[in-house]
Amino acid sequence: MEEKIAVVTGGSSGMGLAIAKKLQENGIKVYVLDIQQSPEGFGFFKVDIRHDEEIQNALSQIPKIDILVNNAGVYFEKYLEDTTNEEIDKIVDINIKGTYLVTRNAIKKIKKSKGSIVTIASCLGVVPELTSPLYCTTKAGLIMFTKCLAQQYADCGVRVNCVLPGPIDTPLLQNSFLDESMAEHCASRIPMRRIGNPEDVANMVFFLISDKATFITGGAFPVDGGVSSSSLYSK
């Protein structure tokens, strides 16, 4: 992994930070693209992935890209009839359009390095959550995006996969709990009866970009404690 360069979007906190640390620990130079400052030790560009010119400016300063981790995204919970047009635009622009723009701008360098792309989707891209149809739809879109790119770029030596996290112990998830009982209820609905750790996701990402996964592309890999295998989660 020495001399490899990775770009991690949304790498300043939560799962993105755990991924960035895992890659760095294994000798990979990591550049974080985020709207908030990353911890010291990583290359950093302040980028809102909704803005194409900001992405272009950042990536133009990175000499090569061996690994792209599309992690930046936002969770959104609201019923169909309560969702405003502004909310639709924001979630789609970040989760779908932003990921598309970053990948489109990075692909030339990834093709040159015969690199790897890993996109963080969600188990809710395959299992419906009744209170968040828009979020589920965007994450399902990322799974299909992964499959399309895997087919298109296989001949170039580029591998494209996605990871489907379930509930992961990040500040974003903790802030959604009003009290400890809500966290316990969330854990109780997971077949493995616990909330995941950011490192669980980071370990899967590292496997997928490693030489141990050279014959794997177009895959969607759950890291969700069994959520996506259980229809009970959506009830």
Please list the residues that pair with 119 across neighbouring strands.
70, 162
DSSP per residue, 125-191: GTS--TT-HHHHHHHHHHHHHHHHHHHHHGGGT-EEEEEEE-SB-SHHHHHT-SSHHHHHHHHHTST
Cα gap 108→150, rounded to integer Å: 15
How far, in Å, are 39, 72, 97 from residue 101 at the CA level?
A: 25, 12, 6
Helix-, strand-, coil-residue percentages of the chain, each rounded to 5: 50, 15, 35
Give the SS3 label for residue 2.
coil
Structure tokens at 170: 């990040």
Structure tokens at 69: 């981790």
- Catalytic site residue from 31, 75, 100, 135: 135
Structure tokens at 176: 């959604």
Annotated active-site residue 100? The verdict is no
Cα gap 158→154, rounded to integer Å: 5
Question: Which residue do the tokens 């809710």 mark?
Answer: 124
Catalytic residue IDs: 135
